[in-house]
Chain A
Amino acid sequence: MLIHLKNLTKEYQTDDLVTPVLHDLSFDIEEGEFVSIMGPSGSGKSTLMHILGLLERPSSGSYKLNGHEVGSLDDDQLAAYRNKKIGFVFQAFNLLPRTTVLENVELPLFYSHDHHNARARAQKVLESVGLGHRLDYYTNQISGGEKQRVAIARALVNDPAVIFADEPTGNLDSKSGTQIMEILQQLNDDGRTVILVTHETDTAEHAKRIIQLKDGHIVSDQAIKHRRRAKDGELLK
């Protein structure tokens, strides 16, 4: 089992005011799943992703990643886990400005003290998302869809156990968005666990399972009957 949540809650405290965000969540995600976490804004889906992605700690409850209880890890251990086990794809791409495509993808390798063949590995993963011709471009010289593919390559370069994609198509036109969803589906077809956070039903239905959140509660958790396939045809064989 990749992810095991039990009675997980999260609340924010500002001065005397306690704002609960997630209530007593329990669910499992197996290796190789493609899960959409859906909900309107304010539902707590981003907070859930941040906790699952080890960017934030839960207030109480248990979160086991790969069988390890995450709550007992210190900041440095969390950073190392994020580096090795988790890849992030954000809505705003979050690429380093004035830096080349290749250097952006090499970045996680830098923090894993793994310089061996860093360049070659980054290049290989960029080729796998169809950006072999953009290696030395600066990030301000490429299109939005290409930026998001660079972000996917960066998420993949350390061969993580799970990819978190937070509204990955939110800043893209529909064609680029389709390409991104196609890559994510392809990755999942190859066995990678993908967790997608979105508020759009159309996007969410590219996954195999949807967890619906509302006001910090899970309102439904079910497999998708009619799964959408993103087909662009040019990008991946």
Chain B
Amino acid sequence: MSFLDFRRAILNSLKSLRKNKSRSFLTMLGIIIGVASVILIMSLGAGAQSLILDQVEIFGANLISVTPGKSGKNEPPSSVMGITITTLTYEDYEAILNKSRVPDLTAVAAMANGNSSLSWRENSYDTTLAGATASYPDVYGGEIADGRFFNREEEKNLAKVVVLGSTVKQELFGDSDALGQKIKINKQFFEVIGVMKERGQVMFNDFDNQVFIPVRTAQKLILGINHLNFIAAKVDDSDKIPQAVDDLTALLRDRHDIGDQSGESDDFTVRNAAEAIDLLRTITDALKYFLAVMAALSLLVGGIGIMNIMFISVNERVREIGLRKAVGAKNSNIIWQFLLEAMVLTLVGGLIGILVGVLLSFLASVVVNFLGYSWAFRIPVLAILLAVVTSAAIGLIFGYYPARRASRLSPVEALSYE
């Protein structure tokens, strides 16, 4: 077919679809829904993935964590399973801090966490208690709004001082000044020496809704434990991570008298954030593509709808096909007529689906941003290309059988068809 013929045939098929507006639309609905959901899912998947990765990366990929107990590379730490393991101690932290064995670390913090009931005058509030070392801000960041963070001296001397997260400050003190006040934590008085700036959600934790006290104080006076929940260490260059991990592992094996170098007997786990990020990326990728495949299945159903309606269309137009053949239409003309109709149907449906999908993705990003997460709205170009190609292919594949049946009708039988 020449270009002019082709153009003419496309115009004809557009016209014939316009003649059956509501039917064309209903047929396209399957394609519209399929394409829109593919785009929505790809876009939401990309957004959710970047949200998760951003949350993890906020501390930088240069973070190394040490947790008590052994766990495999891709297993969660034991503590997640609700098992308390007491193998990591403040003395381990002190040893790591003494840089002779692990020279690459720029900052190390140790944490012992629990729950606490706070009260000030008649106000009371329950929140997370973070027993931290004075080095906490060096590792995790976070700015002081008022006052100061506790120092190493206070950490060692079991000082009863507390730094409030911004939510806690509001809950206990409202607008009145908190600095210098004594609050009760689990029935013991602590002096408020600082208030943190609002930080929002980080790594899906509310950093504003917790209080910080020196880690030793937390262990001895509040929680009554001798172990740490974890140690976090930082390097200044991701290239130094493998060496630092090895050094940390060697140091802790020495300290814990573990001769086995295979890692089988370790009673601690050293991980770095980069591994966690890779793992998360793998999981979210898999999820994203799985959902996209599910959405693509609805495209297949839409394609069957197209085939159905094209068979009906051929049956309704048998006499027209006979007439077209009588005035000189070749079999290929008839095939193209119905094939183009099916393809125009799916392509128009596909384009509408793209619009709907992009619009829904945009609305989703607005809603998520409104909820306080930073969510980048991205038009998934790959998904759009995929949707256009897929819908055209569906038109071609599912339109072919009806079109071929139409082209094979004998002109005499078609002309006399009732």
Interface residues of A (CB under 8 A from B): 50, 53, 55-56, 75-76, 79-80, 82-84, 88, 90, 92, 94, 96-98, 107-108, 110-113, 115, 154, 158
> Which residues of chain B have C-beta atoms less than 8 A from A75's C-beta?
330-331
> Which residues of chain B have C-beta atoms less than 8 A from A76's C-beta?
330-332
Q: Which of B2-10, B143-151, B164-172, B296-304 participates in binding chain A?
A: B2-10
Most chain A CB inside 10 Å of its own CB: which residue of B2, B5, B326: B326
Interface secondary structure of B, over-half rule? helix
Inter-chain CA distance A82–B326, complex, in Å, is: 7
> In the bound complex, do residue B323 and residue A110 qualify as a contact, i.e. CB atoms below 8 Å apart?
no
> In the bound complex, do residue B412 and residue A56 qualify as a contact, i.e. CB atoms below 8 Å apart?
yes
> Which residues of chain B have C-beta atoms less than 8 A from A112's C-beta?
328
Inter-chain CA distance A221–B165, complex, in Å, is: 112
> In the bound complex, do residue A113 and residue B5 qualify as a contact, i.e. CB atoms below 8 Å apart?
yes
Q: A96-B323, A98-B19, A113-B2 are in contact. Are A84 and B328 (CB under 8 A)?
A: yes
> In the bound complex, do residue B331 and residue A111 qualify as a contact, i.e. CB atoms below 8 Å apart?
no
Q: A96-B323, A115-B8 are in contact. Are A79 and B415 (CB under 8 A)?
A: no
Inter-chain CA distance A107–B9, complex, in Å, is: 11
Interface residues of B (CB under 8 A from A): 2, 4-5, 8, 19, 319-320, 322-333, 410-412, 415
- Contacts A82-B328, A94-B326, A111-B328 known; list 17 others, CB within 8 Å: A53-B326, A55-B326, A55-B412, A76-B332, A80-B330, A82-B325, A82-B326, A83-B328, A90-B323, A94-B323, A96-B320, A96-B323, A108-B327, A111-B330, A112-B328, A113-B5, A115-B4
Inter-chain CA distance A69–B325, complex, in Å, is: 21
Inter-chain CA distance A87–B308, complex, in Å, is: 34
Q: Which residue of A lies closest to B7 (CB)?
A: A115
Q: Which residue of A lies closest to B328 (CB)?
A: A83
Closest CB pairs A-B (n = 4) = A83-B328, A111-B328, A108-B327, A94-B323
Q: Which residue of B lies closest to A95 (CB)?
A: B323
> Which residues of chain A have C-beta atoms less than 8 A from B324's C-beta?
107, 111
Q: Say which residue of A53, A84, A94, A110 sits within 8 Å of B319 (CB atoms).
A: A94
Q: Which residue of A lies closest to B320 (CB)?
A: A96
CB distance from B325 to the nearest CB of A (A): 7
CB distance from B347 to the nearest CB of A (A): 22
> Which residues of chain B have C-beta atoms less than 8 A from A80's C-beta?
328, 330
> In the bound complex, do residue B328 and residue A94 qualify as a contact, i.e. CB atoms below 8 Å apart?
no
